Structures are given as structure tokens and as C-alpha cells.
Chain A
């Protein structure tokens, strides 16, 4: 197994197919990152919401006195 290209510039150019190949990989990379980051962020949001709700529930009885 050996590196198939003469140089880094050659690797980027992919003998003229560079834009096609790199665009495909970039789009895929962004889409995959989105698939991971989205549920993680949503979960963080949910946790914050629930903690706020609990705080409200805890402080509510005190206000009625």
C-alpha cells in the first residue's frame, strides 16, 4: 500500500476531480457532524428546561405563604 499521489497539491487536485471528491466528503462530514451534535444539544436544552421547572416547583409553595 502506498500513497497514490506525487504531492499534496496533486492529492488536492485529484487529477481534475478534486472539487467533486472534496465537495462530496465535505458535505458528508457536515451532515454526519449534525447527526451527532443535534441530539446532544437538544438533550442539554431538555435538561436545563427540566431543572428550571423543578426550581419553579420548589420555590412556588414558598411564595404562597
Chain B
């Protein structure tokens, strides 16, 4: 059947077994990229002519913010797939994506705040970009809370999928906030359609960090989803066999 691959993709067991061999690769690649990018950005990239060395926060601030947004897409799309095709695995991905997204949004808010102090002279400003990122943070927290608010797994999954989809409205607002409202936060420096307004000597370490954050995100999303698979399927034979074979019983 042409759709067989699609349904296999929805099988928690297939997912768990398939991804086992990916973990060490993702771990090695993300550690290598993040280390390279951080050392490059901190020590070898030139200082900014206006901001001096404080701009080096960009190498974590921007990748974390990218992934906070990309993570929201992943969460909302998983929720939509789960709702439409009534598959179990996408809901597990959705649930796992929420705390990761919350942490990444937290990182981008905190590093932005710390960066703002020497640059703008303030820790916090109700600027359009910052405020819409704060709303994103609350959306992630809402997802986590909603997951725990229901007795029934099914209800919790469906309700939080709806919340994730409704919250999608915030994503274009975040993207466009720096263009629509001319407040404190600077517009994007990396552009895909035209020339970036950042020098290659600063762009390359930044891209290294962005790719590193993507790999890291994939790694932690897999780790969290695999844990969720084991939790929800703990009554099945395959999980029981798997868990009891990991360590032979010691006495």
C-alpha cells in the first residue's frame, strides 16, 4: 500500500527502534557544532564596531530564538497531524516539544534581556518583539499545564493540540513585529531573499551555532519523545521486554 510508510511513521514502536541509532550521531554532531560555534563567536569573530564585545551574545540569542519558533511549528503541526489522522505518535511529539520550546524561549528572553542592558540601557522594554516572545513563552507554559489538566490522555492531547493551533497566530506576529512596529528591537540581520546585513566573519560562526542548535533540538526532541513512548506504551509487551532486557536483573 502506498500509505503504509505513513502509518508506520505513526507507530511508536517503529519510531523508538528506528531512532535508537540516531542518538549518538546527533549528540556528537551537535556538541561539535555548538563548541566550534561558541569558541569561534566568543574568541575569533571580530568585535562589533558599535556594540563592542557584548554583541557576542548573538551567537546564542538568535539560534535559541530561531528554535523557539521552529519548535512551535513542530509542536503545532504534530498536533494537527494527530488530530486529523488520529495517530498516537504525533501527540507524543507535541507533548515533548512543549517544555523544550519553553526552555529555548526562556533562553532567548534572558539572553536578550542581558544583552539589552549594555546595549539599550535597560533589562526590559515592552517592545513588540520582546512582548510577542513573552506570549510565546506563556503559550508553551500553557501547553505544559493543559497536558496535566485532564484525567484522560485523549482529552489532554486534543485540547492542547487545539491550543497549539490557535497559538500559531502569534508566530507571524513575532516574525513581522520588528517591521510592523518600529520600536527597540533591531530588524532581522539574516535574510534569505536579499543580502544579509551581517559580515561573513560574523555570519559563519552564527550559522554554525544555528545548525548546532537545530541538531541539538532534534536530539532532545527525540530523547523526550522516546521517554514519552515508553511511558504511554509501558503496558505493552514490547516495552516490557525492552525495559527488562536493558539491564539483566541483579540480585
Chain A interface (Cβ within 8 Å of chain B)? 1-5, 11, 14-18, 20-21, 23-25, 27-28, 31-32, 34-36, 39-40, 42-43, 46-47, 50-51, 54-55
> In the assembly, what is the distance between CA of A17 and CA of B116, in Å?
12
B contact residues around A2 at 8 Å (CB) = 44
Which of B44, B227, B246, B247 gathers the greatest number of chain A CB atoms within 10 Å?
B227
B contact residues around A23 at 8 Å (CB) = 114
> In the assembly, what is the distance between CA of A20 and CA of B224, in Å?
31
Tell me if A24 and B57 are in contact (CB < 8 A). Answer: yes
B contact residues around A15 at 8 Å (CB) = 47, 52-53
Q: How many residues of B contact A (CB 8 A)?
A: 44
- Known: A1-B44, A24-B111, A28-B64. Contact between A51 and B57, CB under 8 A? no
> In the assembly, what is the distance between CA of A5 and CA of B43, in Å?
7
Write the B51-65 contact mask toward A (1 if CB under 8 angstroms, else 0).
011101100110010
B contact residues around A40 at 8 Å (CB) = 223
B contact residues around A34 at 8 Å (CB) = 103
B contact residues around A39 at 8 Å (CB) = 220, 223-224, 226-227
- Whether B29 is near chain A, meaning CB under 8 Å from some CB there, is no
- Whether B46 is near chain A, meaning CB under 8 Å from some CB there, is yes
Tell me if B43 and A27 are in contact (CB < 8 A). Answer: no
Tell me if B118 and A3 are in contact (CB < 8 A). Answer: no
> In the assembly, what is the distance between CA of A47 and CA of B47, in Å?
49
- Known: A15-B52, A31-B103. Contact between A47 and B246, CB under 8 A? yes
- Whether B206 is near chain A, meaning CB under 8 Å from some CB there, is no
Give the secondary structure class of A's interface.
helix
Tell me if A17 and B52 are in contact (CB < 8 A). Answer: yes
B contact residues around A25 at 8 Å (CB) = 38, 42, 57, 60
Tell me if A4 and B60 are in contact (CB < 8 A). Answer: no
Q: Can you list 26 residue pairs at the A/B interface with Cβ under 8 Å?
A: A4-B43, A4-B46, A5-B43, A11-B43, A14-B53, A14-B56, A17-B53, A17-B54, A18-B53, A20-B54, A20-B117, A21-B54, A23-B114, A24-B115, A27-B107, A31-B106, A32-B107, A35-B103, A43-B223, A46-B230, A47-B247, A50-B239, A50-B240, A50-B244, A51-B244, A55-B249
> In the assembly, what is the distance between CA of A24 and CA of B100, in Å?
18
A contact residues around B246 at 8 Å (CB) = 47
Question: Nearest 6 CB-CB pairs, A to B?
Answer: A14-B53, A17-B54, A39-B223, A24-B111, A50-B243, A17-B53
